[in-house]
């Protein structure tokens, strides 16, 4: 479509992340007493001109008159401006260099500042249309050459027309003077470029908005640095995911939306359309219905350890990859479990509450040391085994029970059954995962098997413990206390009410699912999960994926990467290879990994192939998801 098109780019806040005149003002006013006021006025005039409120020529003259601008300031900015390229321009240098003979830069700014950037982009000096500064004998800027059409309102259109460029002509810029080019008929299409600034009147006057050069190239049917513009890929992060994750994903060019609370199933269904990546923590249920409504979803990030809130099989059956952060909050949970155990043994919370009511109750009765007690850990995975290490260091004896064979750390003793553990432990701490089969793992019968006066901790999942049965055991005095961090029904947001049969019981510590809620853990989770999602989006790497075969992949280099997720059924690889051979694709590298349910094939191919061949690959029987990366 755009084979013969000419591209005309604005400069300030389009090719570069600065407004030249403001940057010059900063240099010229450095140390000036009235600098702040002048800078503010210059900024105001720039905005007014960009939004079309005052004429460009008038704004330029007034701004230059305000500044004690000297040649050395211009030279200083020119020396560093090429470091300020817009990020998407930096990524797509190849586009500028390959198509330099159909690119023009037009700006009401100054030739000296634009020249180094044009050189970096490979654009010839005679394809830069800009104002020429005029200096006096002392090197002070007195204005711009009045004979240059760009010194006046409507100048961009006249300057462009004077070049008689091949049409269609595509204008790209952030300001009103760029929109005017299209309005004057000097351009056939105008893209409002919003990577640096977003000006609503300009967007309204544009044929389309592009938030990056990638989007521009995609819209014009040209190959950019990425197979798909990342700014068009929507990432929806719920439940207060740490800002570190947002920053990391945005830095890679993706569009991120956030929400502080969890969403109910119907609310999520209403929002999931068009979303490429969903990020949740423990409360948002990603059900089969949600996944069925997710027309674009590539991946789900669980910004936590547990993934029981996500229908992993339904996701796999749709080729949606699910990632979590399996170790980032482990230590936080363990530290809280240790602290809660000590608090329960010493009845700290009830004593503290009494003090707040003005009651002084100094007594050793019922208060016990940790040392020498037996801790029973149910579920000896990452958290259980870490707890084991810390507990032994504090002088506890540790016994554990796990469904699978686990290495007993230190002097910890494995017990063959849950019942054995319940019979022996003074403190029982639950750290199993949230699989459905663990519902009411501790019910009335199990609680009855615990030692009289024993303590119970649940920091795993709410449904693992029958809270009604626990409340009864506590009320009857059968158990000595409990600390519960997770509940069968948890409020979706901090504004929602909480209720539980455990409320109001003595020596019962209730915490609002904060086992993993430390600043350290949340930041580490944000960083880890974001990195896993980026590895999958950017190169197809499924390391740590919890529902698809794990394949570790290097960056795509000098090739196109085809990613094919399919049902694990006979003949898929043979069909894929036959289809690729028929399409004449030259294979540079291939990986296949399968699990019981799903297969994942990654093929790096030579770049010159007929894109129609990709349709045939989508048609291979058993295909769940197919995408291309480069």
Ligand X SMILES: O=C(O)CCC(=O)C(=O)O
Ligand Y SMILES: NC(=O)C1=CN([C@@H]2O[C@H](COP(=O)(O)OP(=O)(O)OC[C@H]3O[C@@H](n4cnc5c(N)ncnc54)[C@H](O)[C@@H]3O)[C@@H](O)[C@H]2O)C=CC1
Residues that bind ligand X (CB under 6 A): 281-282, 304-306, 329, 513, 516-517
Q: What is the C-alpha to C-alpha distance for residues 543 and 324, in angstroms, rounded to an integer? A: 11
Q: Which does 380 bind (CB under 5 to 8 A by kind): ligand Y, ligand X, none?
A: ligand Y
Q: Active-site residue 63, yes or no?
A: no
Q: Would you say 306 or 549 has its CB closer to ligand X?
A: 306
The residue annotated as part of the active site, out of 490, 567, 591, 627, is 490
Q: What is the C-alpha to C-alpha distance for residues 324 and 544, in angstroms, rounded to an integer? A: 7
**245 Rama class: left (phi>0) / alpha (psi -120 to 50) / beta:** alpha
Q: Would you say 20 or 282 has its CB closer to ligand X?
A: 282
Q: Contacting ligand Y (CB under 6 A), which of 108, 319, 379, 622?
A: 379
**b/e per residue, 256-277, with b = 16+ CB within 10 A?**
beebebbbeeebbbebbeebbb
Query: What angle (nearest 5°) sits at the alpha carbon of residue 429, between those of residues 505 and 383?
Result: 135
Q: Which does 281 bind (CB under 5 to 8 A by kind): ligand Y, ligand X, none?
A: ligand X
Give the CB-nearest residue to ligand Y: 381
Residue 50: CB partners within 8 Å, gap ≥ 6? Answer: 174, 175, 176, 177, 197, 199, 202
Q: Which does 404 bind (CB under 5 to 8 A by kind): ligand Y, ligand X, none?
A: ligand Y
For residue 86, give the nearest of 23, 10, 162 by alpha carbon: 10
Least distance from ligand Y to the Cβ atom of residue 495, Å: 20
Q: Active-site residue 276, yes or no?
A: no
**b/e per residue, 286-309, with b = 16+ CB within 10 A?**
bbebbbebbeebbbbbbbbbbbbb
The residue annotated as part of the active site, out of 271, 276, 331, 461, is 461
Please, which of residues 386-425 interact with ligand Y by CB under 6 A?
401-404, 406
Q: Active-site residue 369, yes or no?
A: no
Least distance from ligand Y to the Cβ atom of residue 385, Å: 8
Parallel, antiparallel, or unpaired for β 587-594 and 598-605?
antiparallel
Residues 67-86, mask of contacts with ligand Y (x by CB under 6 A): --------------------
The residue annotated as part of the active site, out of 99, 242, 281, 513, is 513
Q: What is the C-alpha to C-alpha distance for residues 572 and 273, in angstroms, rounded to an integer? A: 29
Least distance from ligand Y to the Cβ atom of residue 473, Å: 20
Is residue 438 a contact residue for ligand Y (CB under 6 A)?
Answer: yes
Q: What is the C-alpha to C-alpha distance for residues 261 and 237, in angstroms, rounded to an integer? A: 10
Residues 498-537, mask of contacts with ligand Y (x by CB under 6 A): ---------------x-xx---------------------
Least distance from ligand Y to the Cβ atom of residue 532, Å: 16
Q: Which does 378 bind (CB under 5 to 8 A by kind): ligand Y, ligand X, none?
A: ligand Y
| DSSP per residue, 181-236 | HHHTTS-SEEEEE-SS---HHHHHHSSEEESSHHHHHHHTT---SSSS-GGGSEEE
What are the catalytic residues? 461, 490, 513
**Site residues for ligand Y per CB under 6 A:** 305-306, 326, 329-330, 333, 378-384, 401-404, 406, 431-434, 438, 441, 459-461, 485-486, 513, 515-516
């Amino acid at each position: 479509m755009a084979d013969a098109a000419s591209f005309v780019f604005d400069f300030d806040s389009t090719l570069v992340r600065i407004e030249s005149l403001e940057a010059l003002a900063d240099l010229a006013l450095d140390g000036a007493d009235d600098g702040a006021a002048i800078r503010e006025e210059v900024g105001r005039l720039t905005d007014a001109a960009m939004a079309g409120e005052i004429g460009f020529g008038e704004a330029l003259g007034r701004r230059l008159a305000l500044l004690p601008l000297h040649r050395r300031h211009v030279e200083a900015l020119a020396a560093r401006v090429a470091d300020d390229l817009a990020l998407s321009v930096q990524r797509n240098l190849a586009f500028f260099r390959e198509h330099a003979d159909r690119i023009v830069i037009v700006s009401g700014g100054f030739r000296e500042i634009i020249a180094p950037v044009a050189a970096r982009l490979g654009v010839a000096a005679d394809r830069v249309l800009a104002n020429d500064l005029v200096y006096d004998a002392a090197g002070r800027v007195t204005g711009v050459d009045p004979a240059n059409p760009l010194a006046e309102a409507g100048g961009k259109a006249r300057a462009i027309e004077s070049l008689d460029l091949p049409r269609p002509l595509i204008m790209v810029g952030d300001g009103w003077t760029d929109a005017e080019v299209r309005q004057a008929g000097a351009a056939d299409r105008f893209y409002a470029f919003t990577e640096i600034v977003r000006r609503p009147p300009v967007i309204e006057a544009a044929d389309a908005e592009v938030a990056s050069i990638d989007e521009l190239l995609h819209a014009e049917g040209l190959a950019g640095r990425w197979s798909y513009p990342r700014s068009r890929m929507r990432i929806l992060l719920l439940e207060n995911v740490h800002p570190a994750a947002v920053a990391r994903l945005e830095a890679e060019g993706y569009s991120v939306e956030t929400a502080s609370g969890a969403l109910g199933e119907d609310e999520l269904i209403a929002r999931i359309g068009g979303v490429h990546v969903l990020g949740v923590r423990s409360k948002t249920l990603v059900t089969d219905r949600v996944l069925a409504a997710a027309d674009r979803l590539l991946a789900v990030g669980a910004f936590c350890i547990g993934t029981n809130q996500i229908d992993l099989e339904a996701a796999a059956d749709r080729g949606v990859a699910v990632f979590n952060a399996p170790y980032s909050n482990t230590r936080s949970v363990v530290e809280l479990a240790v602290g809660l155990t000590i608090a329960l043994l010493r009845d700290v919370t009830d004593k503290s509450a009494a003090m707040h009511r003005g009651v002084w109750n100094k007594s050793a009765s019922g208060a016990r040391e940790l040392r020498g007690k037996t801790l029973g850990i149910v579920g000896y995975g990452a958290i259980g085994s870490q707890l084991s290490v810390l507990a032994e260091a504090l002088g506890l004896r540790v016994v554990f029970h796990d469904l699978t064979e686990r290495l007993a750390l230190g002097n910890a003793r494995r017990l063959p059954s849950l019942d054995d553990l319940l019979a022996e432990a003074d403190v029982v701490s639950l750290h199993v995962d949230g699989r459905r089969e663990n519902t009411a793992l501790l019910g009335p019968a199990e609680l009855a098997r615990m030692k009289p006066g024993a303590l119970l901790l649940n920091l795993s999942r709410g449904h693992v413990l029958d809270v009604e049965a626990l409340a009864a055991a506590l009320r009857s005095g059968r158990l000595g206390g409990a600390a519960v961090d997770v509940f069968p029904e948890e409020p979706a947001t901090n504004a929602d009410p909480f209720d539980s049969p455990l409320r109001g019981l003595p020596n019962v510590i209730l915490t609002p699912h904060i086992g993993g809620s430390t600043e350290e853990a949340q930041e580490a989770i944000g960083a880890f999960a974001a990195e896993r999602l980026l590895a999958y989006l950017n190169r197809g790497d499924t390391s740590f994926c919890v529902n698809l075969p794990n394949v570790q992949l290097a960056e795509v280099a000098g090739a196109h990467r085809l990613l094919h997720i399919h049902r694990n059924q006979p003949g898929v690889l043979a069909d894929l290879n036959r289809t690729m051979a028929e399409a004449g694709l030259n294979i540079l590298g291939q990986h296949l990994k399968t699990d019981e349910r799903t297969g994942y094939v990654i093929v790096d191919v030579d770049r010159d192939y007929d894109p129609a061949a990709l349709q045939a690959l989508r048609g291979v029987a058993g295909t769940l998801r197919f995408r291309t990366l480069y």
